[in-house]
Structure 1
Amino acid sequence: MDFALTGEQEALRDTAAKYLADDRGAGDGRPWTEVDDLGWLDAELGTVELALLAEQLGWARSPSPWWATVGLAGPALRAAGRPVAAPATLAWAWENGPDTLAEAVAAARRPTVTDPAATGARSSTGTDSAAAAVPSSTGDVGRGGTPSTHTPGVGCAVAADGTLTGRAIRVPHAVDAVDLVVAASGPYGVELRLVDASAVRVTPAGAGGQALDPSRPVSTVELTGVPSTLLVAADAAADVLALTRRRAGALLAAEAVGVAARALARAGGYAATRTQFGAPIGANQAVAHPLAECYGQVETARSLAYRAAWTVDAEPGRVADQAVLTASVAAREAALSACEAAIQTYGGSGFTWEQPLHHWYRRAWWLATFDGTVADVRAELAGLLLDD
């Protein structure tokens, strides 16, 4: 079996590296149309190819909403037969509902919930374009299953006319999004619905420059009677959300590898050129050994991230879940370790905003805490392994 990248994959990676070679940070002015022109939104790209792009975006600490578009919103849009073109994101965490993607998947797998008679029948015209997939109030369960009386733990409700009301939290790149995919509670369970982002109220977190990573903004999104279009009905929403979680996690693992590799490269270059007492500081074991250990972590994380990306497409389900969780732990820890070792190599100067390393450290912490901590991921992985 050949584990090497193909020529096309190497070309895609190298082209991305050249395109992102100039550091622009949070002020990156690259237009979104260039992402489309480069082919980074093509439906033909598998998760491995997307992971190669994510790694380069992590190396550059790009503020592009590409990951949110292809990783979070992309699976639902493609499941509905819609192109992934404009910047988009997913709202799944709610003030009074699921807090993580894992909880959103679990909520979508629970038996259905709302009594249609209590809310009235939803129109099969207007905002609900997928009329064949929308159940009626006459007892026809359509594609969504059998209605019952209550949906616990879902923080956004679909009204009879297809409008949405709820308050989503920690929505990545909502400030950049044109389209918003929402996991909402319909009469037959959790549905995935499309909303025009201009119709919602977006409040960025960390106002006043206190965001954990300004280049990866998260926001609170308020929906009050916002029109929506059905993308994925209740019977398929859980599977699409599960795929979303795997793909988003695999891409973030690859991005974390890019962050780690960049920090390690900066530290290695500095250790080789910065001299003290007539010799490079890298000649000292106290400097060289931590960087060598980080190198091992980064290469291990890269291997696991590539494997996770491959399993998302080749072996979906439990195997992919384990692979993605394993890669997430290794890559998140590698990114933090590499950034901290690099900061130490620079004599601690990376703790200030003026030092570029600080920005990569912020991204590493964002990655380490996205949708749960490393400890949470370890606990879930342990549960999967012990169940085998």
Structure 2
Amino acid sequence: MATLTHVPDLLRIATAGSVDDGKSTLVGRLLYDTKSVLADQIDAVTKASVDRGLQGPDLSLLVDGLRAEREQGITIDVAYRYFATPARSFVLADTPGHVQYTRNTVSGASTAQLVILLVDARNGVVAQTRRHAAVMALLGVPQLVLAVNKIDLVDDPATVFAEISAEFADITRTLGWSAEQVTSIPVSALHGDNVATRSEKTPFYDGPTLIEHLESVPNVTDRREVGLRFPVQYVIRPRTTEFPDYRGYAGQIAAGRVSVGDEVVILPSGTRTTISQIDTADGQLATAHTGRSVTLLLAEDVDVSRGDIIASAADAPEPVQQFSATVCWLAEKPLRPGARLLLKHGTKTTQAIVGGLEVLFDEQNLSVIDTPETVELNQIGRISIQTAEPIAADDYQVNRESGSFLLIDPQGGNTLGAGLVGDAVSPLHLKELV
């Protein structure tokens, strides 16, 4: 009989912080200390570091793969890396620090269950720290780690760490996080202090190392559990003599779980039926969970097309055509009221018109501006949208996968904006931070 092996669960994390705070070095240290890089990669990094005149390997080069980044020593794109410990597997996004790359930060952190926000111990909490914390609050990131980096470069590390941690705690509390959701750790990414091993240089700190915390933090996927959300990607009808009546609906489970016999509703039509079979490439399943690609068969022959959502009948969202949303604008041309765009939600794409621009989030000052005239590149605002066809979307604060969408240029097909369904800006007490 085959023995069952333990498969570590997956935690999606991201880094953020100001330029030169050491994000890429920290990521490189995580990869290096967990033995997640090959020997030839270390050799290449060591050679490149020696060419720069450095004494040892610059671990940030394990992440900064773009030539422009290596030449400038900064991160300008989102770099994804994978590493694992015996307790857990990780997907990590290293995001840029420059203000003009806020859109990349939003992209990297949008799926994160935990964000490591770095500050330089010599500089403390700066404007970019506050800005990134507010963006993480908008995105609904469940857990934060404040990594006070370069702790070895300050004269009184205990006092500096206490002051920075207290100031950051005030900010995150105002933004809606509880004390249990935020953890502060003094580290030196360059030397590895409190990253994988506990450092004797920080006797004032008795908490976990960064890796210990990453291994033990609750794996929170969403703020609230929801039922099945299954965007239909493809309708499978083989029409063969072997399967003359086969009709399956293929896609990936965006949220929740599904079991044979479950009652479901087809959205936006509202037709109710039950699950009769769950097929995969490896055979049939009795139950499937979030992230699994499956083909669902229904008990009745109902009308289902690509773009429809098969949802749990118990908590299915109400399809809407007019709603408010928070959008991060990604295009050079500003967004104005009356813009006609395409909106992609799940596997459904429909025409959409932007109504009013309700609120602009001023990330420079951590404040809000009412009724702006435009939303510019990298800015975040709340807008009203009307779609040609109804979409079955949850509020983003309820479920991130089924509450997000893209705005697309109908002519060129380029992505213009990333949106969050609901009033994500308004719950934040941003004006208290100014």
TM-score (norm. length: structure 1): 0.28
More strand by share: 2
TM-score (norm. length: structure 2): 0.26
More helix by share: 1
Larger RCO (CA under 8 A, 6+ residues apart)? 1
Higher alpha-carbon Rg: 2
